Structure 1
Amino acid sequence: MKIMKMSSQLGALVLCSLALTAAAQPDLSKIRPRVEKIPVADMERVGKQSGLTSCFWPATVSPSTFNILIPDSGVVYWVSQYRLPPGASLSLRGQFPKARHISLNTYDEAGQPVDRLNDLMMAPNAGSANPFRPHARRDAAQRDYHVNLTQAAVTAGTRVDDASRPTNTLYAPQDAAVQLWYRVYVPDQGADLKGAVPLPVPVLQLADGRRLEGDAVCGEIVVKEGTLRDVRVPTEALKPMFALAGATSAYHPAQNPPSWNAFFNAPLSATNLLIGTPYEGIRARLDASRRGGFYSTLDNTYMSAYIDRRFGEVLVLRGKAPTTPRTFAGAQVMEPAQLRYWSICKNRSLSDTAVDGCLYDEQIPLTADRSYTMVVSTAAARPANATASCGVAWLDWGAAGDGMGNAAGGFLAIRHMMPSADFTQSLFATRKPGDEAATLGPYFPSSSYTGKADFEKLGCKAS
């Protein structure tokens, strides 16, 4: 999960560049995210309603709990925040869930990713098995693990050397409140959202020799205030970017056909709003190195496209799907695949960071050669043949649009997770803006607008 953040340095750079090309321009320096702490009372109320939280994990992000920070509906995100007293150490004991993927991630106080420990990096306890490893039995009865959270001089933007990482060690920044996120992707059919196992349990070793577990840990280290933070660009600051003079698209920032752009870093991604305007050339002057976004994970990367159904009430996507493990029905073995997970989501905007709907790999009908056809529309405009039985996936556009007054707007995001070493056509293989189609090849989606009636003329098996 990510939110694309405009830095003050980016605002200054764009303003300087615009001054060279136009006499008047929006004040882009105002496009900065606001960070609002979700009140503890709200976290407790939502947690009680959902039944998903615990003392150590007091908040969740999901479409049904806190639909913020551009989530993926195939995932539930648990959030904790703690501060260790001097001389203390923290670990987590847990069980590998019945699910597609899990990970633990630490962040600094600004929400930038510091480190992660994904399931492949986690060794099971003696006598237990890790069901996420290639060819492993997913139905193992003993599936326990123990992870150490070690505070060290680690910072966002600098990857920990996995080769020298001690077994089952997740690093956290020193001298600060640590934000810790736990992700569970695609629980097996019949399992709860936790994957049929309890949440990881904290184990605290204090300097005086005391050892505390579970709820007893909370009063010692958990910092509930500010655990969950909503981050968004104010609508009044973002709207001028949607109305830039000289835009080539009648419904800027959406293009026809949609313009897909890989995520390299937050400042560059924010300037996708300049595409199709006299200021698009500014993007070529910006740093295109790949870095994490706000509350992103190092195991995912993305590409996105602004969309608008005033171009056509139905948006059709066609492409080839990478292989992924098919785990939902409770497969006994974790099959190797090109990606661990991929999905496509309809989101709103940087001002309203909710998700309206997602489809993940197993939810998308495929032909024998792994081709797919997907329709994005409102429920009212859904073609009669946009059904799984007709070989067509349907993604709900939602009624909110971009969440800023344009019910026709929004953006799509495609997520790729953990490519295999021999899969060279994932989004991780992109090296610069503009090489998305060449890098992904058949896995790059063709995208076009049409009408409901026109798509229905294709009949069943419209792919």
Structure 2
Amino acid sequence: MTPVASAEITRVGQQSGLTDCFWLATVSPKTFNMLIPDSAVTYWLAQYKLPAGAKLSLHGQFPFARHMSFNSYNADGMPVDRLNDVMIQAQGNVANPYQAGALRQGPRQDYVVDVMAASDQQLRNADAERSGNTLFSQSASGVHQLWYRVYVADQGKDNKGGVALPVPVMTLADGQQLSGQDLCRQTVVPEGVLRDLRLPAETVKQIYAIPGASSPAHPAQNPPHWNAFFNPALSVTNALIGTPYENLRSKQDETRRGGFYSTLDNTYMSAYIDQRLGQVLVIQAKAPATPHTYHNTVVMQAAQLRYWSLCKYRSLADTAVDSCLYDEQVPVDKDGYYTIAVSTAGNRPSNANEACGVAWLDWGSAGDGIGNSAGGFLAYRHMMPSPEFYAHSLFATKNPGDEESVLAEYFPRSRYMSRADFEKTACKK
């Protein structure tokens, strides 16, 4: 866990124009491309001291976007609590624009979120323990980490979704209030606000080079092997699949808990991929319904998921994202099924385009980022399933290996092909 230098954070923040004295850093492909981000999201990071008896309030407006949330983390980057958009009550007893059926356009509604230190009891059952717009935070050192996320800002809006960043106000135990530069000078802790979490490259290379692997492009399998995320340690052992040590995975803890700086509103599954197994990776499944918002939709739609995406990453030693597709960018046929072709730009099939009903995901040129230009991995995200869809969402996976049975027709069936063979599947518009 290596802290990014404060001077570099300041330089990137000034260059991007996205940060201020409280929201110190951003994670995104154009700023700090690390920690396995989604390219349709901007993540803002804050780190501050919360004195005993103090309360931090965030005064903001709901952005024009698909989703927004606040998330608190412990010193190890594990999620503590989250407060997402539909959990936040707008001021003035007006409708929350993220509720299904609510108007999304028009004047922005104000909100106030209170961030408070929590007891273990409160954290064990946070949703029942919280009152109002409260986000719980916990820190043994007295230094708290807070992330703010905005997904898919509406067309014509900036990364912030057309509103200002939430404004912090701290109320101390004696009633004194701090805001603006005073709050930043007295409470913000810039050192270590952004920490680069990755495995050493040599360690990952050694895992990939385990003797006796069945695949010539290990850790990639043919067809790709999709693994739901349960916890960081188990995720590392995905690279043992197809080796003589695969059975060690069954001895690992399978408890579902957050990953490094993950959000409790999302869960994932991943698959190693490699172009040596085929020029084009073809992925097909039924698309979960989501509320399409990018084109300034007037009313928030009810849907099976709030958001889903497919992203190509490098490795656990280079945690940058190369490209993503999110739900609205993926055309579907009359029955709701999609086809995604993953390839480099040079191997992109002529029929991998919207006119042919095919979404194209750029494999990029970095490969796994640690020497194999053909490698990498994909991650498939599900966010906030509806009660009706939960049983077919990634949240419903209980054990490694039940991904396909749970997702059923929504499972991304994947196979390698040559570019020429994919182009034989018709449509060359």
Smaller-chain TM-score bracket:
over 0.9
Aligned to 1:395: 361
- 1:151-300 matches, cutoff 5 A: 151-154=117-120, 159-175=124-140, 176-300=142-266
How far residue 87 of structure 1 moved from its aligned partner, in angstroms, is: 3.5
Q: How does 1:49-64 map to 2 (within 5 A)?
A: 49-64=15-30
Selected match of 2:403 from 418, 433, 436: 436
Structure 1 match to 2:294 = 328
8 Å Cα contact 1:302-1:427 kept in structure 2: yes
Quote how far apart the aligned CAs of 1:207 are.
3.5
Counterpart Cα distance in 1 of 2:108 and 2:168? 20
The CA distance in 1 between the partners of 2:49 and 2:154, in whole Å, is: 34
Contact 2:347 2:419 in 1 (8 A): yes
**C-alpha separation in 2, matches of 1:159 and 1:45:** 39
Aligned to 2:393, which of 397, 422, 426? 426
Shift of 1:127: 4.7
Matched, 1:382 2:330: no
Partner of 1:24: none
Cα shift readout 1:66-111 (whole Å, capped 9, x = no counterpart): 0000000010000000012334221101000000000100001111
- Secondary structure, in 3 states, of the residue corresponding to 2:137? strand
In the alignment, the residues of structure 1 paired with residue 108 and residue 344 of structure 2 have an alpha-carbon distance, to the nearest angstrom, of 45
Displacement of 1:155 in angstroms is 9.2
Give the alignment's TM-score, normalised by structure 2: 0.97
Equivalence for 1:14: none
Partner SS for 1:380: helix
Deviations 1:23-79 (A, max 9, x none): xxxxxxxxxxxx110101101110011110011001000000000000000100000
Distance 1:288 1:207 in 2: 42
Q: Does the 8 A contact of 1:376 with 1:395 survive in 2? A: yes
- 1:318 equivalent in structure 2: 284
Q: Distance in 2 between matches of 1:458 and 1:215?
A: 60
Matched, 1:341 2:337: no
Aligned residues of 1:154 and 1:172 also touching (Cα < 8 A): no
- The structural deviation recorded for 1:128 is 3.8
Equivalent residue for 1:459? 426
- Residues 122-131 or 363-372, more deviating: 122-131
1:447 aligns with 2:419: no
SS in 2 for 1:394: strand
8 Å contact kept, 2:75–2:139: no
What one-letter code is carried by the residue in structure 2 that aligns with 1:162? D
Q: Which moved more, 1:80-89 or 1:54-63?
A: 80-89
Unpaired segments of 5 or more residues in structure 1? 1-34
Unaligned residue ranges in structure 2 (runs of 5+)? none
Q: Is the 8 A contact 1:262 1:302 kept in 2?
A: yes
- How many angstroms apart in 2 are the aligned matches of 1:209 and 1:259? 56
Aligned with 1:108 (options 64, 74, 93): 74
2:381 aligned counterpart, secondary structure: strand
Distance 1:111 1:102, change over 3 A: same
Which amino acid in structure 1 is aligned with residue 292 of structure 2? R
- Aligned mates of 1:429, 1:87 — CA distance in 2: 39
Aligned structure 1 segments of 4 or more residues deviating by more than 6 angstroms: none
Partner residue in 2 for 1:44: 10
Measure the CA separation in 2 of the matches of 1:159 and 1:257.
40
Task: Name the aligned partner's letter for residue 261 of structure 1.
Answer: N
Letter in 2 for 1:429: A
Q: Give yes or no for contact 2:350–2:428 (8 Å, CA) kept in 1.
A: no
Cα distance in 2, alignment partners of residues 155 and 222 from structure 1: 27
SS in 1 for 2:208: helix
Give the one of 45, 57, 61 matched to 1:95: 61
Equivalent position amino acid for 1:49 in 2: Q
Q: What number of residue pairs does the alignment pair up? A: 427
Q: Is the 8 A contact 2:219 2:239 kept in 1?
A: yes
- Give a deviation string over 1:296-341, Cα, whole Å, max 9, x none: 1111000000000001111111111000000000111111100000
Letter paired with 1:173: Q
* Pairing 1:11-90 to 2, within 5 Å after superposition: 35-90=1-56
SS in 1 for 2:299: coil
Give the TM-score normalised by structure 1.
Answer: 0.90
For 1:331 and 1:422, the matched residues in 2 are separated by 23
Q: Secondary structure at the match of 2:340?
A: strand
How far the C-alpha of 1:238 sits from its partner, in A, is 1.3
Cα displacement (A) at 1:164: 3.1
The answer (yes or no) to whether the contact 1:155–1:173 under 8 Å persists in 2 is no
Deviation per CA, 1:253-304, whole angstroms, max 9, x where unpaired?
A: 0000000000011111110010000110111112212111110111100000
